[in-house]
Structure 1
């Protein structure tokens, strides 16, 4: 337990602004309750006024929290979301930030990530390198992703879209995002991404891929995904807007690896991720009620 106290102390010192007297909510679900309870204990041990609320597991990333959970979020000054699936790209996050709350999402968080993985990174370095990558994205008119040893090519138009730096450092209130973090990401031009991509890392809600999953995208829509895990991806996304390309992300956390947990995987060096579904919370126009990331390790990125 002392290890958790130290981890939380480091987060409070380097990643977030929690003022004296702030009321802090730890939002959890049944799957992550054990880690969330230890995280709560770490907050209390560091003299933070904190409370735990447990909701039912969401079925997929991007699904909204329960109405009762949203009531709690809006009643507290800051929320740490230690949940199975991501609440990052939800209306709840948007509402909390607009109301001047701190909203930190930690989907799929594990003891390993907190004590040995991405959370152990040098936050100053991660912040600097993430901002630099976001600036590169903003300058680009498109990114061409080469995967599968060069046998697959995906063109991602970015004209007029700004890169976003997810640094894992949140100054003040009215902000939100992942912790741990370390990724620069962007909402590509809608209905314009085309080509094929070999996913050889992991898929949110599925984990590490058993064999590479080849995705075919036409006019921004995922038309096919190979293998049984590709079929599962299509099932999670549904037949509607969930199949639209929502995000291009670049990992910038030197302490992260591809371990089968999307929270860490999408932050790892030498990875990119393409997500499908909602992007209306970060500069796009798609509201699909789902957001699924697909990790590619060792790609070649051509900026044009």
Structure 2
């Protein structure tokens, strides 16, 4: 296992952050992930750099607010890795990193099965392959106004993306113009007041894991207005209450399509779940670093399987299979 963790750390430092000798890098994490932090420090040392570490324990969901309040916290560094329990990618401090032409990698290390995220196979996804897949999908979004999504279970959703610029993550900060995430996906921030319809959630619920049975989630005017009262629905409601931000954490803030053919949506690791090829996810809450204008105390994703996705009435995914790619891209 130690060898697998070090292999993952080497990918992150060498291929994703592309750390160079003499650069300053900060790893934001907690004592829970001391092994992973040490592996990334070793990888940084191997390329001639020294990694500083900021351990933030006991913040949990509030870690985002911490870096909203400390917008200049990352100014001394060429690169920052957010390797805490929760994602920092939508915070003001990260937005400032990118504005200063430095690099930020979102690497939330939360898993629910005891396996280190750095040992997961999804880290081995080909960067060129993900880049090609993403570029083709983003070309379909050019000047588009509308996304429509259905599933066989009954999902029927409409997103307004007029004027919004899509982006993609594949781990590589260079590909993301300084900003990236361990999640491999194409994303776009929909108009915050104009997502409507029914989501039948059958994949995972972000940080809280797999859906035990499908959950009906109703959206009107860009907001969740009803969550089905079953076991998984109650878990989702309880999770939302922990953010103490009931007005903003129910706003649909991101539409994402997973592109990682090495990932499996098993509920063990939310970064892997939302990356899984053949799924889509809706991010709720903050999206200020994703091209939107919504602020909130956090961000979380709901992942659903096998969608049919239409962009301005053009089908780009049919029951989880992209229809705009050549078959050779899957090899």
Q: Could you tell me the TM-score, scaled by structure 2's length?
A: 0.82
Q: How does 1:116-265 map to 2 (within 5 A)?
A: 116-147=120-151, 149-171=152-174, 175-179=178-182, 181-226=183-228, 227=230, 228-236=234-242, 238-260=245-267, 261-265=269-273
How many Å apart are 1:17 and its aligned residue? 2.8
The answer for unaligned runs of 5 or more in structure 1 is: none
User: 2:62, 2:270 → 1: CA distance?
Assistant: 10
Q: 1:67 to 1:185 in 2, by over 3 A?
A: closer
Question: Relative to 1, partners in 2 of residues 1:33 and 1:282: Cα closer, same or farther, differing over 3 Å?
Answer: same
Q: SS of the residue aligned with 1:208?
A: coil
- Contact kept? 1:198, 1:212, Cα under 8 Å: yes
Matches within 5 A, 1:45-64: 45-60=46-61, 63-64=64-65
The equivalent of 2:91 in structure 1 is: 90
Give 1:277 shift.
0.9
Whether the aligned pair in 2 keeps the contact of 1:101 and 1:174 (CA below 8 Å) is no
Aligned-partner SS, 1:140 = coil
- The count of aligned residue pairs is 302
**Which deviates more, 165-174 or 283-292?**
165-174
CA distance in 2, matches of 1:150, 1:259: 19
Give the superposition deviation at 1:135: 2.2
Partner residue in 2 for 1:286: 294
| Superposed CA offset, 1:203-245 (max 9, x none) | 1221112222211101111111123123224424632122111
Residue in structure 2 matching 1:277, options 254, 273, 285: 285
2:54 match: secondary structure: strand
CA distance in 1, matches of 2:61, 2:282: 16
Instruction: Specify whether residues 12 and 159 from structure 1 end up closer, same or farther in structure 2 by C-alpha distance, changes over 3 A only.
Output: same
Contact 2:21 2:47 in 1 (8 A): no
Please identify, of 239-248 and 52-61, the stretch whose mean Cα deviation from structure 2 is larger: 52-61
CA contact 2:9–2:118 (8 Å) conserved in 1:
no
- The answer to whether the 8 A contact 2:249-2:299 is kept is yes
Does the CA-based 8 Å contact 1:4-1:39 persist in structure 2? no
Q: How many angstroms does 1:69 deviate by?
A: 7.8
Shift of 1:280: 1.9
Instruction: Give the alignment's Cα RMSD to 1 decimal.
Output: 2.5
